[in-house]
Amino acid sequence: MAASFPFVLNLVAGSAGLPEARARTIQSAARFAARLGDVDFLAPGRACDIPFDGDPDAVIASLRAVVEDEWLLDINIIPTANRRKKLLVADMDSTIIGCECIDELADMAGIKPQVSAITERAMRGELDFPSALRERVALLKGLNLEALARVYAERVRLNRGAKTLLATMRANGGRALLVSGGFTYFTQRVAADADFDENQGNILYDDGNALTGEVGEPILGREAKLNALEDAVSRFKLDFSDTLGVGDGANDLDMIGRSGLGVAYHAKPVVAQAAEAAISHGDLTGLLFLQGYRESEFALPPPN
């Protein structure tokens, strides 16, 4: 049904769920701004599409009077053409996993507040990312290498839906690239856990026992993430319209902006405002709903 309309109004629920009556309320409000199709539930009580033909800005404006904050709904307008993507390029920290690894290393060193403040400002776009990373890594000088293993074992957890996202895109012929401003020690392990095809990150230097306070150059940051996307498009002979980029911080902005579908995931305001779509309440399976997958089409992750 959606294929006969140029757009869908995609609704993905957070913890409050998506009752059918709520979806119908949104549909009724949007009728004043566009020609609509019927509500199509991708997952009962969790996600739906409302196909439409009209001005997307007018549709969003029509919802302001009826949608309430406590509904915890991610509402996005997605073009129906080429909706399912062939390449996922994802940030790691606070996107695929639920923490910032450098902040957790700083916690092991007893300096988390100092380092976290720099991280937060960098992710909001208030600081130059490479300089901010060098400053934070310098503060970790002397941290025993056992701390990296402890952070991975005790603090690093995949965000809900990560494995399902990767398994489903892979089952449908997609590839996935993990591109992080964090460190290869973690990207390699997280990529294996979530089943990414490739991973990139920054290199922490050590003397065999402890961190030296130095990081490999050039630092992988905002420009490098964009370059990784462009390189993958070229290598796999894709079009940018075939790509989905997702992240939460300012150094993800160029990657998100160049992707065919750029998604801000539980992101800083500067990213949420700039991205084409945002998942602020749902989990990572929201990226599948944005592509029009039904819950019944989700693939089972491979066993560990």
Strands 243-247 and 87-90: parallel
CATH number of 87-297: 3.40.50.1000
Long-range CB contacts (within 8 A, 24+) of 212-219 = 212/141, 213/137, 213/138, 213/139, 213/140, 213/141, 213/142, 214/137, 214/138, 215/133, 215/134, 215/137, 218/130, 219/129, 219/130, 219/133, 219/134, 219/181
Which pLDDT value is given to residue 179?
98
Confidence of residue 301 (pLDDT cuts 50, 70, 90): confident
Tell me, which fold does domain 2-79 have in CATH?
Alpha-Beta Plaits (3.30.70)
Which pLDDT value is given to residue 2?
59
Which pLDDT value is given to residue 1?
53
Annotate 18-30 with b (16+ C-beta within 10 A) or e (fewer): beeebbebbbebb
Express each pLDDT in 7-17 by its tens digit. Answer: 999 999 999 99
Which pLDDT value is given to residue 4?
87
Catalytic residue, candidates 93, 103, 252, 283? 93
Q: Which residue has the tokens 């996935």?
A: 176
93 is catalytic: yes
First to last CA, the chain: 38
| Cis, bond preceding 218 (omega within 30 deg of 0) | yes
User: 175, 232 in Cβ contact below 8 A?
Assistant: yes
Q: Which residues pair with 79 in a beta bridge?
A: 7
Catalytic residue, candidates 91, 103, 248, 283? 91
Q: What's the token pair of residue 169?
A: 């895109």
Confidence of residue 258 (pLDDT cuts 50, 70, 90): very high
* Domain ranges across the chain: 2-79, 87-297
Say yes or no to pLDDT of 3 above 90: no
Express each pLDDT in 83-130 by its tens digit. Answer: 999 999 999 999 999 999 999 999 999 999 999 999 899 888 898 899
103 is catalytic: no
**What is the C-alpha to C-alpha distance for residues 227 and 86, in angstroms, rounded to an integer?**
18
Express each pLDDT in 122-178 by its tens digit. Answer: 888 898 899 999 999 999 999 999 999 999 999 999 999 999 999 999 999 999 999
Question: What integer best gives the mean pLDDT of the chain?
Answer: 96
Q: What's the token pair of residue 261?
A: 């579908």
**What is the C-alpha to C-alpha distance for residues 254 and 266, in angstroms, rounded to an integer?**
17
Which pLDDT value is given to residue 304?
64
Say yes or no to pLDDT of 225 above 60: yes
| Average pLDDT, integer, range 50-79 | 96
Strands 261-265 and 243-247: parallel
